[in-house]
Amino acid sequence: MQAKSTRTRPPHHRGIDSTKILKSAVQYSIMRLKDKVAIVTGASSDIGKGIAQRFVQEGAKVILVARNLEQLESTREEIGNEKQTIAVSCDLTDESQVLQAVNRIMDTWGKIDILVNNAGAINDPVHFHKMHDSDIKKLIDVNLCGVFHITKAVLSKMSQVKGGSIVNIGSISSERAIPRVHLAVYSSTKAAISMFTKSIAVEYARKNIRCNCVNPGIINSGMIKPYLDDPQARKVLEDRLPLARVGEPSDVANAVLYMASDEAEWVTGTILNVDGGETASEG
């Protein structure tokens, strides 16, 4: 008589759909911005370059926008994969230049899927009553009017196809004043960007255009970099942060990537602080 097999079938786990798990894994491995066309303003800055580089890694065609063409071309070389990028010199405070730049982008790529409003200006900390009107006007022109000009031009194109994602770069200084760091006008312009983000998000939601904002905290970039070269000064800042380190441009870039991608297709009008927990701990 043949012995009866003692082997048992593996239990069937109900509720676990292996097909869905596999599909999710495949989707995650696919480049998240494949075939998307993205504009990144202020692209020659540390944060702008980080965002552009991350977008290129995820398959996007990226238009680098700033005033200085030479710096933009240098940024393209640093990013690599120059077939996926072009540099466009443009003064965002000049609406006619902005319109020409957007039309040139449309002629080249045929569409604009993503706009990252990263270009901005900041002043040396100084008491408000000591600021010159020209310095105040510059901050307003760059941080507000520049954003308004290119957003307006891009929205006209996105509205035609009923789709797009706009990510504004703000600052945690839009939510809180920092003792002994006198940035009244800069902080005011960034607070305005937060409200602009929410207003555009609601106004254009029915056209399937999303608008969000990323507020960086202390990032190893720009005018703070020389300060961070001093180990003691860096430690003072790091000790203030719950995550105990200064942020890097890549931290901002990863947040912007999420907001720009289809993974955030049900996220709009959101202000995301990328600050190592600073605002949560200090209010």
Among all residues, which ones are annotated catalytic?
Answer: 186
Query: Which residue has tokens 């608008």?
Result: 211
As a whole number of angstroms, the distance between CA 122 and CA 181 comes to 12
Instruction: Pick the closest to residue 31 from 253, 214, 250, 261 (CA basis).
Output: 261
Q: Residue 78 is which amino acid?
A: E
Q: What six digits make up the tokens of 134? A: 């020209």
Helix, strand, coil tally for the chain in percent (to 5): 50, 15, 35
Cβ neighbourhood burial of 148 (10 Å; 0-12, 13-18, 19+): middle
Q: Residue 273 is which amino acid?
A: N
Cβ atoms 104, 158 nearer than 8 A: no
Compute how many other C-beta atoms are within 10 angstroms of the C-beta atom of residue 281.
Answer: 12
Query: Which residue has tokens 């065609």?
Result: 61
